[in-house]
Amino acid sequence: MPEQPSGSAIAIREVSKVFGSGSDAVTALAQVDIDIRANEFFTLLGPSGCGKTTLLRLIAGFDYPTTGEIRLYGDDIAQLPPYRRPINTVFQNYALFPHMTVAQNIGFGLEMLGRPRAEIAARIDEMLRLVRMEELKNRRTSQISGGQQQRVALARALAPQPKVLLLDEPLSALDYKLRKEMQLELKRLQHETGITFIFVTHDQEEALTMSDRIAVMSKGRVLQIGTAHDIYDKPAERFVANFIGETNLLDAEVTGVDAATATVRVKGTTLQAGLPEGFRPTGKATVVIRPEHAELEAGGADRGTLGGLGGVITNVVFFGTDTHYYIALDGGGEFMVRRQNSRGAAGFASGDRVGLRIDPGAARVLRD
């Protein structure tokens, strides 16, 4: 692993977390290395049980790593209790203090830091403005809606101006429309405050739309770190390709490798496929092609012009903006193509024979 680049807000170095001991030991995190840059919107993405929440708890200080270092602007904070870390958390269930008003909740952190009353009062008002909740200042937290509680939780965590804000699936309890709204709101808050956000989610769409960079996690390991584009367009592993977006995975035979691409044969068709960094496949491999990177052509029987990939449509699912076509490939396997619905475009129906034209550069070999 490379040394910590200067400018990292959080540097996680070879962090492991093992719960229990002896034969009951469960490894929640195994040798995790992540650098999170200052002012970045960084997302930990993975299915439940992948270790993302454990990692967040280690950064917050609710738990301590079994081995490894967690550095905040260079200082190892791994063993500090939570109240000694300039890091605040937005909890999944918000964890607002039910016996306090909205204003008292927001002022709690500053009060504990021993700030003067006048400063606290001013900061509470500023925070209420920031999350657009001025009129609910003196309400009890039990008297406001879920979306409003979410905003109070954000304001409470932002009020002490932490160096890093941790967000533990904060949008999962909201309904779809409110969630979309809060996604934009979070981006705005991050932009306006300039605070480093570390966001935990299992929702790949949320991760793709909000994050500057994403770390995809599975079974206590970080599989890939990159921008939304990197993760989506250049997944390095089968798990990443499967977890992010919809995916076609095809068995392939590697026939040649050069600097950045491999020549592969997929069901008799030869394709150029991109390679993950530093990966030199030989023999059998898995190739990923995103559903929007293939085009349907009528009359797939004419193999010569279409390069050979083809099959019969088994299912057509309409999604409003686009339509998904499920194709049983000649020679076995299924392939899904997503086509945007534009007026006048020729439609295809179940039972039609089609050929597939793969966009150049769309195929990528995966590390298994």
Partner 1 sequence: MAERGPLDLKTQPGFGKVALLCLFLLYAPILILMIFSVNSGSIITHWEGVSLHWYGAALADGDFHSAARNTMVIAVSATVIATLTATLAAIGMTRVKPWRGLGAAFMVINLPLMVPEIVTAIATLSFFALVAGKLGLNFGIGNLIIAHTVFCIPFAYMPIRARLEDMDLTLEQAAADLYAPPWQTFRRVTLPLMMPGVFSGMALAFIVSFDDFTITQLVAGPGQTTLPLYIWNQTRRPMTPEINAISTILLLISIVVVTASALIARRRKA
> Least distance to partner 1 from the beta carbon of 131, Å?
16
- State which residue, 64 or 318, has the beta carbon closest to partner 1: 64
Residue 125 burial (10 A CB sphere; 0-12, 13-18, 19+):
middle
> Least distance to partner 1 from the beta carbon of 169, Å?
13
Bridge-based pairing of strands 164-168 and 87-90 is parallel
Nearest-CA neighbor of 224 among 235, 232, 208?
Answer: 235
| Residues in contact with partner 1 by the rule CB under 8 A | 60-62, 81-83, 87-89, 91, 93, 95-99, 108-109, 112-113, 140, 142, 156-157, 160
- State which residue, 164 or 189, has the beta carbon closest to partner 1: 164
Q: Is 91 helix (H, G, I), strand (E, B) or coil?
A: coil
Nearest-CA neighbor of 164 among 201, 207, 215, 198?
Answer: 198
- State which residue, 36 or 110, has the beta carbon closest to partner 1: 110
Q: Is 82 helix (H, G, I), strand (E, B) or coil?
A: helix
Bridge-based pairing of strands 294-298 and 41-45 is unpaired
- State which residue, 62 or 318, has the beta carbon closest to partner 1: 62
Neighbours of 266 (CB within 10 A): 23
Nearest-CA neighbor of 149 among 182, 194, 124?
Answer: 182
